[in-house]
Structure 1
Amino acid sequence: MRTIKKRAIGKLELVALIVSSCIGAGIFGITTDISTAAAPGPALLAWLFVGLGILFLVLSLNNLSQKRPELESGVFSYAHEALGPLAEFIAGWTYWLSDWLGNIAIATMMMSALGTFFPIFGNGQTIVAILFAIVVGWVLTYLVNEGVENATFINTIGTFFKVCPLILFLIFVTISFKAGLFTANFWGNAVDNLNNSFKAGNLWTQIRSSLLTMIWVFIGIEGASVMAHRAKTRKEAEYASIVAFILLFLVYVLISILPYGVMTQAQLAKVGQPALGAILTKIIGWPGAIIINIGLIVSTFISWLSWTLLPAESTMLLARDKVLPPFWGKTNKKGAPKDSLILTASLQSIFLFSLLFTKQAYEFAYSLCVAASLFTYLFVCIYQIKLSRKENNWGQLLIGLLGAVFQLCCMILAGWQQVLLVAVSFIPGFYLYYKARKYYKKAISLPEKLVMIFLLLLGVLAIYLVIVGVIKISG
């Protein structure tokens, strides 16, 4: 049998992969999403909170990667080491779910941008737009199926081109920035999403309302950990995580906060999506929308490519660790998990039709994506705590503890409805986990059964709350 030599992914490619995974549709709409929730002062405080929370996650990932380099399944291995095979399955299952749900949000924004040039795409939620999105999804699946490393090379090239419109945006916004306008309503009012008017909002409400949007643009920051086994060295994967985090944080804060010095909060909240195009149009005229929408189309395409790669990689690792049936881990001649790619693309295609039934498809998809990812991130921090306690490393233990508190705060305060909806996915998920444990002749312990029952009950509760209208998915 011929041995296939895999080309290792270098630092530059890993940084590009993480940056590209994070910089996608979200950054082009973040100004409207944040201004709808908060004035510049509360938004800056929210960024500080989220930035620290994500930094604790990145530092935890780097510490665990350094201390346990033999755990090649990255974030999923850490969940296993922390709480056992069921924890690994939950971490991996929600990670897989978050990635392809993120693709739904990416597709919505991409189709909306295409609507600027081709009216038949409308706001991104027409039949034509959905069918075209499905075709794009399958094309990207084909690219990844032809070789994961080839896909990352395309991603590295594309990252350069997707960042250029953002740099132009920052230049023009900086030139047009008015300090008086920025400070006039610094602590301001939150937008009432029900009637699009302003009302007094306390500081905490504004911060809390911004959290999911801010975390959304950081989804993918763990990419170097998931891909670490393909890196030249673990050290390079750690380096890529820190560099990518610093770059992303600076860009996100500048792009979301500087526009408050160009337009009022009320104006920013109502410009629609993609927000950056509307803002740049106000500054330089109609070419602004053209520049941003071209950048958005390229950005979402490349980001979609990354997010096609990551979920397939995760299911392959889970199958290798025997918490998913072997079907999910089969690879083709080029090392790509073909069956997993096809199944994920099929589910994505089906879910895309949900865009016909909700007015806020983009927000709904990305909020579910964030809620699912919080499960994965929480297990990373839990293992950071467990390992650091064992080593009596109190500094690292504090980092893990603060990271876990951050994830729990976001789950409870900002996204409890979305977390309940994610629990619905465990209904089919635990069946697959049961099949895998049976196939590999592994027992399911009593504590695992109790956890499964609890999460299944949460899933049933979520379905009930949707039926009675407490949780709305078609707003």
Structure 2
Amino acid sequence: MKNNARGIGVGELVALIISSSIGTGIFGIMNDLANAAAAGPALLAWVFVGVGILALVLSLNNLSVKRPELDAGIFSYAGAQFGPLGEFISGWAYWLSAWLGNIAFATMLMSSFGTFFKVFKGGQNLASIFGAIIIMWLLTFLVNNGVESASFINTIVTICKLIPIFAFVVIMFISFKVGIFTADFWGNVANNVLHNGKTVSLFEQMKGSIMVMMWVFIGIEGASVLGNRAKQKSDAQKATIYGLISLLIIYILVSLLPYGVMTQAKIATLQQPAMGEILRHVVGSWGSVMINLGLIISTLGAWISWTMLPAETTMLMAKDKTLPKSWGKVNKKNAPTYSLMITGVMQTIFLFSLLFTEYAYNFAYSLCTAAILISYLMVGTYQMQFSYKKKEWGQFVIGVIAAAFQLTAMVLAGWQQVLMVTILYIPGFIFYYLSSKENARAINKNEKFTIGAILLIAVIAIVMISTGAIKVG
């Protein structure tokens, strides 16, 4: 999409980042986190993840300043390092992540509607799926009517949805008891309850927390992806820092304060959205109603952002000739209609998988997180390469930390999900081939080897799923 005089300012970009990240995850993170770790290990995991995300944000800011011509989103850095195929691999992963995140939104949203309308209870039945499809297409047509107008709506929604989250934090502060928080700080008692007496080490608890925490941070790169729509390039840089600081404070408070109100074992057994159930425990049923209303607003707001991001991604990839030109065609409102329609169709098809997946929400967000780790990893490696050539050793260290963190998360916490994501590259490489043919660009030997290796991994993943070595959902 072309830039225009109107553009998006710092405030709207920060709202976009916060809204993209604060979606369904924050309303259920306390339950998912309590299933993985006690308060102590969770706090250490937040420090670990915070350092990794900070390194990613600093890398994005550095590259944005020093390579301003690479304005096609975070995947353009992979293109600068590895060529067209590298940009495609990163961009396709980012596109997958964006619409897979929408599937997680749909599951939690319809489950929240189930609090008020029993026909949607659970969020995975046919009524929920058709309801989610209707909402998804309504949002698609909204974005198709102009991205800037959608981002303005998103800013208003962000303000509205933060109110119940703020109320939750205040109530948790008032109800917080130090004795409850410190009673089982390292999880020795909870291990007996949640893991049938099995000892879970500090390392295992931290490892189990990583994917949960990474899920709620997805969207932090939003200002970089939409940076070409900012009034000034510096607006995107400021927005990423402001957004990260705000998110860290919000997430740590929301996820850790409940450990001082209820035991880890009780939090781990709560139904989703756990935030509502915790308030029900503290203040009564009105607290649950308030949170579910906030969840509905939050999810719809984040869903607007995540409808914008995949469309912007594929449009920019088409502009850089890693996808066919048709993916980049825009309408009179300057929105990529073709890309929006394809993404909408993919989401519609995938929504029906909710009927066959026992834990649809966890399955969708884990795949979403695994996919974006691929894009984040390539940002870190390019930060290393670029800083090494410039002999900027401080920036090089930042790149090492960013890349090492993403790789660690992929290997320790999400290797099964990463394998499953490779399966979704099978149709992707068809589009890459069509783009190469359309632009008279030969696929060289290194690219053929890389494509072959990824396809081999995809086949291995399919075999592992079919034999039960990888559990789907």
Q: TM-score if structure 2 supplies the norm length? A: 0.98
Q: Which moved more, 1:77-86 or 1:209-218?
A: 77-86
Contact 2:3 2:229 in 1 (8 A): no
Shift of 1:191: 6.3
Alpha-carbon distance in structure 1 between the residues aligned to 2:71 and 2:362: 33
2:212 counterpart residue number? 213
Mind listing any 5+ residue stretches in structure 1 that lack a counterpart?
none
Alpha-carbon distance in structure 2 between the residues aligned to 1:76 and 1:61: 11
Is residue 405 of structure 2 the alignment partner of residue 444 of structure 1?
no
Alpha-carbon distance in structure 2 between the residues aligned to 1:192 and 1:433: 48
* Offset from partner CA, 1:370-424 (integer Å, 9 cap, x none): 0000010011111101110111000000000111000110111100000000000
Shift of 1:196: 6.3
| Count of residue pairs brought into register by the alignment | 472
* Offset from partner CA, 1:419-438 (integer Å, 9 cap, x none): 00000011111111111011
Alpha-carbon distance in structure 2 between the residues aligned to 1:152 and 1:193: 47
Shift of 1:200: 2.1
Q: TM-score if structure 1 supplies the norm length? A: 0.97
Contact 1:21 1:303 in 2 (8 A): yes
Whichever residue aligns with residue 363 of structure 1, its letter is: N
* Offset from partner CA, 1:322-377 (integer Å, 9 cap, x none): 00001111100111000110110111011001111111000000000000000100
* Offset from partner CA, 1:210-234 (integer Å, 9 cap, x none): 1000000000100000000000111
2:336 counterpart residue number? 337
Shift of 1:192: 7.1
Q: CA RMSD of the aligned region, Å?
A: 1.4
* Offset from partner CA, 1:50-72 (integer Å, 9 cap, x none): 11000000000000000011111
Shift of 1:189: 3.9
Is residue 406 of structure 2 the alignment partner of residue 390 of structure 1?
no
* Offset from partner CA, 1:239-279 (integer Å, 9 cap, x none): 00000000001100110000000000000000110000000
CA spacing shift, 1:198–1:366, aligned 2, 3 Å: farther
1:126 counterpart residue number? 125
1:460 counterpart residue number? 459
2:46 counterpart residue number? 47
1:281 counterpart residue number? 280
Contact 2:35 2:194 in 1 (8 A): no
Contact 2:192 2:198 in 1 (8 A): no
CA spacing shift, 1:302–1:193, aligned 2, 3 Å: farther
Shift of 1:74: 2.4
1:402 counterpart residue number? 401
1:100 counterpart residue number? 99
Alpha-carbon distance in structure 2 between the residues aligned to 1:218 and 1:195: 26
Whichever residue aligns with residue 182 of structure 1, its letter is: F
Mind listing any 5+ residue stretches in structure 2 that lack a counterpart?
none
Shift of 1:194: 11
CA spacing shift, 1:6–1:129, aligned 2, 3 Å: farther
1:380 counterpart residue number? 379
1:14 counterpart residue number? 13
Is residue 73 of structure 2 the alignment partner of residue 74 of structure 1?
yes
CA spacing shift, 1:25–1:443, aligned 2, 3 Å: same
1:242 counterpart residue number? 241
Shift of 1:193: 12
Whichever residue aligns with residue 199 of structure 1, its letter is: K
1:429 counterpart residue number? 428
Alpha-carbon distance in structure 2 between the residues aligned to 1:9 and 1:191: 47
